[in-house]
């Protein structure tokens, strides 16, 4: 983890080449700082830089996703979507919207629980940014190499529910409260199949660490993805994807928001920058969940592209080019997941709350258990035979 | 089947536990219907949008489109037929007649009232008012919707020339008439010089 290394070890690591993991930012800073600077400053500076990079990157990805969503929805409905702001196909539309939201009045409804009301968006956004700490940017560039990385990510992304429930309760509005109650019920129902279907991939990977899981799929021209590994992973991917839709409050499970029934659900009383925090959280969560899906089912950094760079061109897996290609691969895979979520959103109508519960408890959970059992037996059988 | 029977049947179905076959059928239905829906939206996603980026490009306007009128002012004879035909009385015209020529003061249509029914076009005897193709009409002031269709006020140059020509012609005709009358009188005088009383009478009529 960044910022927690002792200075002698840091010095030793600085002497070693960048290859083999570690924190590039820290190495770089160690290379340029004069000796008079005390050693404990560097990890703090590194941590600040890393936080800045995470926030900047996630904000950019969220803004890009918002633009993409509008374009996708437009084209699915045979129209263009934003076309003017910024020139090329309205790429700057989200920036324009963001500026508009920033300049809006910061309103708290009378009768609202003001501290909770103001804290809720911060908790939601903070939790999702926290989850991104465990996200590896490239095979050798990460902010925190956590052994239980996927646990951390799922835990942090579930924390956003607390912010949502808090906002619903604090808004002093029946719509908000209904939205928050639905969110709570939905997350309780879908956390279970989400975790269990992910277990299938964890059985294949044998690790909770995202980077190790990605490395475990380095096979057959970078196509040794877990989805091809055994027949129980394919239904598990579908179950995981459906559960992530519910987890990120996306249609057809956008019951907490439900604009046709609950005005805007838990967002009803929010406006301006606080509302945009919730909005950003939604898109960041979509990206995060797609990223987990890409890492644990679709090969992570591994693809024929990275294979070509590393093996055929002889650069090796620690080379800068391989790392960059790996990062691009992962981001492209994650964006494909985000795109699929958008496609689903503009295809399916919203389901009823009892249907959501039925689907979560009666269908997804037992099927996920069957998948885990099958995958475990398959892997055990394979080991026994081979 | 009566409503009561249907109710009973529904109750009976509700009492029966769902079979395991139904369970798998539900899963199958969910997957297949989702895939079918996504095929449709995917097809729409890939096809070219049918909307038109309006200010940059426009849909072709149909031939018989009823937009803001245009007036062929030179043909108009200010007969008021269109104003009388208008069901909401939004046409007003005013002109001063100089013989055959018109000195235009106004020809307004109030587009706050006009409903583009085209009833003003048919009765026109000179066929001078038509429905145009212009439909985008934005102003900051309501009074501007009372649009004057005249392309010029007063008399046109042609009308002035025509009027002048007509006046000249008339003058020439009169002069010719006068000359003729004079010539005839002279002739008469020459023929019958022995009748001075008639001559005097003729001179009296001339004056």
Average pLDDT over residues A312-333: 79
Nearest to B49 among A75, A343, A347 (CB): A75
What is the gyration radius of the CA atoms in chain A, in angstroms? 22
Lowest mean pLDDT among A55-64, A76-85, A368-377, B15-24: B15-24
> What gap in Å lies between CA A138 and CA A325, rounded to an integer?
8
pLDDT recorded at residue A17: 37
Q: Helices marked H in chain A — which ranges?
A: 7-15, 24-32, 41-76, 93-102, 114-132, 149-170, 174-205, 210-215, 233-247, 272-297, 304-307, 320-345, 353-358, 365-385
The model's pLDDT over A231-246, given as tens digits with 9 standing for 90+, comes to 888 889 999 999 999 8
CB distance A284 to A61 below 8 Å: yes
- Does pLDDT of B199 surpass 60? no
Q: Is the interface score ipTM higher than 0.90?
A: no
> What gap in Å lies between CA B193 and CA A229, rounded to an integer?
141
The model's pLDDT over B11-28, given as tens digits with 9 standing for 90+, comes to 766 666 667 888 888 888
What is the gyration radius of the CA atoms in chain B, in angstroms? 40
A67 in any annotated domain: no
A305 in any annotated domain: yes
> What gap in Å lies between CA B204 and CA B207, rounded to an integer?
5
For B48: left if phi > 0, alpha if psi spans -120 to 50, otherwise beta; the answer is: beta
Q: Is B87 helix (H, G, I), strand (E, B) or coil?
A: coil
User: Which residue from B174, B178, B154, B155 is spatially nearest to B166, judged by alpha carbons?
Assistant: B174
Q: Which of A204-213, A339-348, A351-360 has the highest mean pLDDT?
A: A339-348
Which of A83, A245, A346, A347 should be substituted to probe chain B, the one whose Cβ sees the most B Cβ atoms within 10 Å?
A347
Q: For residue A117, what are the contacts with CB-CB under 8 A and spacing of at least 6? A: A108, A109, A167, A170, A171, A269
Average pLDDT over residues A70-96: 87
pLDDT recorded at residue A8: 45
Phi and psi at residue B65, to the nearest 5°:
-65, 145
Label residue A23 by pLDDT band (50, 70, 90). Answer: low
Lowest mean pLDDT among A35-49, A108-122, A149-163, B90-104: A35-49
Q: For residue B19, what are the contacts with CB-CB under 8 A and spacing of at least 6? A: none
pLDDT recorded at residue A1: 39
Q: Kindly list the residues from chain A whose CB atom is less than 8 angstroms away from the CB atom of residue B44.
A: 75-78
> Exposed/middle/buried for A24, CB within 10 Å: 0-12, 13-18, 19+?
middle
CB contacts < 8 A, A to B, total: 41
- Does pLDDT of A5 surpass 70? no
Q: Match 């600085």 to its residue by tokens.
A: A14
Lowest mean pLDDT among A76-90, A135-149, A253-267, B8-22: B8-22
- Tokens describing residue A5: 């290394």
Q: Is A321 on the interface with B (CB under 8 A)?
A: no
> B45, A343: Cβ pair inside 8 Å?
yes
CB distance A167 to A176 below 8 Å: yes
pLDDT recorded at residue A21: 41
Which residue is closest to B52 within chain A, CA to CA? A79
A61 in any annotated domain: no
Which of A68, A69, A73, A78 should be substituted to probe chain B, the one whose Cβ sees the most B Cβ atoms within 10 Å?
A78
A372 in any annotated domain: yes
CB distance A247 to A185 below 8 Å: no
User: Which residue from A91, A3, A85 is spatially nearest to A42, judged by alpha carbons?
Assistant: A3
Which residue is closest to B40 within chain A, CA to CA? A347
Give chain A's domain count: 1
**Chain B residues in contact with chain A using a Cβ-Cβ cutoff of 8 Å:** 23, 26-27, 30-31, 34, 37-38, 40-42, 44-45, 47, 49-51, 53
- Residue A216's domain spans which residues? 108-385
Q: Is A101 on the interface with B (CB under 8 A)?
A: no
CB distance A201 to A226 below 8 Å: yes
A17 in any annotated domain: no
Average pLDDT over residues A339-359: 88
- Does pLDDT of A223 surpass 80? no
> What gap in Å lies between CA A333 and CA A210, rounded to an integer?
15
- Tokens describing residue A145: 């190499």
> What gap in Å lies between CA B95 and CA B152, rounded to an integer?
12
The model's pLDDT over B68-118, given as tens digits with 9 standing for 90+, comes to 888 888 888 888 888 888 899 888 888 888 877 788 888 888 888 888 888
Phi and psi at residue A256, to the nearest 5°:
-60, -30
Q: Helices marked H in A298-319 — which ranges?
A: 304-307
pLDDT recorded at residue B36: 93
Instruction: Please report the residues numbered 335 through 354 in chain A whose beta carbons come closer than 8 angstroms to any beta carbon of chain B.
Output: 343-344, 346-348
Nearest to A347 among B23, B38, B49 (CB): B38
Q: Is A260 helix (H, G, I), strand (E, B) or coil?
A: coil
> B49, A367: Cβ pair inside 8 Å?
no
Q: Which domains does chain B have, with CATH numbers?
A: 3-46 (no CATH), 69-148 (3.30.70.3270)
Nearest to B51 among A80, A347, A367 (CB): A80
> A78, B44: Cβ pair inside 8 Å?
yes
Which of B25, B33, B41, B43 should be substituted to probe chain A, the one whose Cβ sees the most A Cβ atoms within 10 Å?
B41
Q: Kindly list the residues from chain B whose CB atom is less than 8 angstroms away from the CB atom of residue A75.
A: 44-45, 49
Lowest mean pLDDT among A5-14, A116-125, A268-277, B187-196: A5-14
- Chain B nearest C-alpha distance from A288 (Å): 23
Q: Is A359 helix (H, G, I), strand (E, B) or coil?
A: helix
- Tokens describing residue A341: 């979520």
- Does pLDDT of B58 surpass 60? yes
Lowest mean pLDDT among A22-26, A46-50, B8-12, B107-111: A22-26
- Does pLDDT of B194 surpass 70? no
A268 in any annotated domain: yes
Q: Match 């002048």 to its residue by tokens.
A: B164
- Tokens describing residue A327: 């990062």
Label residue A224 by pLDDT band (50, 70, 90). Answer: confident
The model's pLDDT over A280-307, given as tens digits with 9 standing for 90+, comes to 888 988 998 998 898 888 888 888 877 7
User: Which residue from B125, B128, B118, B122 is spatially nearest to B76, judged by alpha carbons?
Assistant: B128
- Does pLDDT of A14 surpass 50? no
Nearest to B45 among A72, A80, A363 (CB): A72
Q: Kindly list the residues from chain B whose CB atom is less than 8 angstroms away from the CB atom of residue A362.
A: 23
Average pLDDT over residues A265-275: 85
Label residue B204 by pLDDT band (50, 70, 90). Answer: very low
Lowest mean pLDDT among A221-225, B68-72, B109-113, B119-123: A221-225
CB distance A256 to A82 below 8 Å: no
- Tokens describing residue A275: 């509302």
A126 in any annotated domain: yes
Q: Match 């499970």 to its residue by tokens.
A: A253
> What gap in Å lies between CA B104 and CA B95, rounded to an integer?
4
Lowest mean pLDDT among A132-141, A156-165, B86-95: A132-141
A92 in any annotated domain: no
* Residues facing B107 on adjacent strands: B93
Which residue is closest to A340 within chain B, CA to CA? B38
User: Which residue from A295, A150, A288, A134 is spatially nearest to A208, judged by alpha carbons?
Assistant: A150
User: Which residue from A24, B57, A263 is spatially nearest to A16, judged by alpha carbons?
Assistant: A24
pLDDT recorded at residue B15: 62
- Does pLDDT of A15 surpass 70? no
pLDDT recorded at residue B16: 63
CB distance A113 to A169 below 8 Å: yes
Mean pLDDT of all residues in chain A? 82
Lowest mean pLDDT among A14-23, A37-46, A172-181, B191-200: A14-23
Average pLDDT over residues A102-125: 87
Q: Is A232 helix (H, G, I), strand (E, B) or coil?
A: coil
> A80, B45: Cβ pair inside 8 Å?
no
Q: Match 């080019």 to its residue by tokens.
A: A321
- Chain A nearest C-alpha distance from B111 (Å): 32
Nearest to B37 among A79, A83, A348 (CB): A348
* Residues facing B93 on adjacent strands: B107
Positive or negative: CA dihedral A145, A147, A149, A155: negative
* Residues facing A136 on adjacent strands: A142
User: Which residue from A130, A192, A156 is spatially nearest to A365, judged by alpha carbons?
Assistant: A192
> What gap in Å lies between CA B130 and CA B126, rounded to an integer?
11
Indicate the pTM of the whole model: 0.74
Label residue A369 by pLDDT band (50, 70, 90). Answer: very high
């Amino acid at each position: 983890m960044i910022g927690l290394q002792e200075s002698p070890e840091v010095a030793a690591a600085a002497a070693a080449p960048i290859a083999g993991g570690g924190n590039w930012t820290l190495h770089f800073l160690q290379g340029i700082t004069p000796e008079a600077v005390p050693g404990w400053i560097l990890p703090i500076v590194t941590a600040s830089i890393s936080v800045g990079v995470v926030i900047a990157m996630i904000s950019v990805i969220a803004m890009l996703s918002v633009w993409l969503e509008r374009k996708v929805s437009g084209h699915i409905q045979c129209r263009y979507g934003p076309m003017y702001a910024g020139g090329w196909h309205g790429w700057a539309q989200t920036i324009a919207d963001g500026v508009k939201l920033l300049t809006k009045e910061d309103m708290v409804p009378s009768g609202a629980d003001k501290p909770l009301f103001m804290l809720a968006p911060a908790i939601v956004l903070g939790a999702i940014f926290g989850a991104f700490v465990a996200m590896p940017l490239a095979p050798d560039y990460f902010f925190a190499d956590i052994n239980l990385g996927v646990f951390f990510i799922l835990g942090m992304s579930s924390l956003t529910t607390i912010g949502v429930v808090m906002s619903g309760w604090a808004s002093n509005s029946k719509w908000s409260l209904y939205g928050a109650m639905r969110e709570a019920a939905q997350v309780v129902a879908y956390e279970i199949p989400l975790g269990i279907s992910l277990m299938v991939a964890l059985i294949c990977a044998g690790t909770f660490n995202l980077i190790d899981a990605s490395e475990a799929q380095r096979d057959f021209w970078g196509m040794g993805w877990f989805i091809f590994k055994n027949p129980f992973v394919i239904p598990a991917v579908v179950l995981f994807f459906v559960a992530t839709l519910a987890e990120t409050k996306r249609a057809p499970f956008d019951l907490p928001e439900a604009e046709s029934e609950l005005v805007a659900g838990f967002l009803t009383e929010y406006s301006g920058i606080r509302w945009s925090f919730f909005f950003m959280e939604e898109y960041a969560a979509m990206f995060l969940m797609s990223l987990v899906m890409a890492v644990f089912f679709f090969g992570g950094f591994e693809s024929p592209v990275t294979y070509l760079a590393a093996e055929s061109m002889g650069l090796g897996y620690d080379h800068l080019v391989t790392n960059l290609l790996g990062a691009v691969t992962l981001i492209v895979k994650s964006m494909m997941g985000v795109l699929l979520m958008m496609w689903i959103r503009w295809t399916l109508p919203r389901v009823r709350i009892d249907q959501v519960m039925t689907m979560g408890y009666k269908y997804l959970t037992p099927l996920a258990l069957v998948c885990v059992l099958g995958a475990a037996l398959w892997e055990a059988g394979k080991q026994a035979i081979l | 089947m009566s409503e009561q029977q249907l109710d009973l049947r529904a109750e009976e179905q509700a009492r029966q536990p769902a079979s395991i076959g139904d369970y798998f059928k539900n899963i199958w239905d969910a997957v297949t219907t989702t895939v079918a829906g996504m095929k449709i939206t995917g097809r729409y996603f890939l096809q070219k949008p049918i909307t038109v980026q309006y200010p940059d490009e426009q849909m072709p306007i149909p031939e018989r489109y009823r937009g803001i009128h245009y007036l062929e002012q030179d043909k108009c004879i200010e007969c008021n037929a269109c104003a009388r035909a208008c069901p909401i009385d939004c046409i007003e015209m005013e002109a001063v007649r100089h013989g055959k020529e018109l000195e235009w003061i106004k020809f307004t249509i109030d587009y706050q009232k006009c409903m583009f029914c085209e009833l003003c076009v048919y009765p026109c005897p000179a066929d001078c008012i038509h429905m145009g193709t212009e439909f985008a009409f934005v102003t900051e002031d309501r009074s501007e919707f009372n649009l004057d269709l005249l392309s010029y006020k007063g008399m046109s140059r042609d009308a002035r020339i025509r009027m002048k020509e007509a006046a000249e012609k008339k003058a020439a005709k009169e002069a010719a008439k006068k000359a003729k009358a004079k010539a005839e009188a002279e002739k008469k005088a020459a023929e019958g010089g022995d009748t001075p009383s008639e001559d005097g009478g003729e001179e009296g009529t001339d004056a």
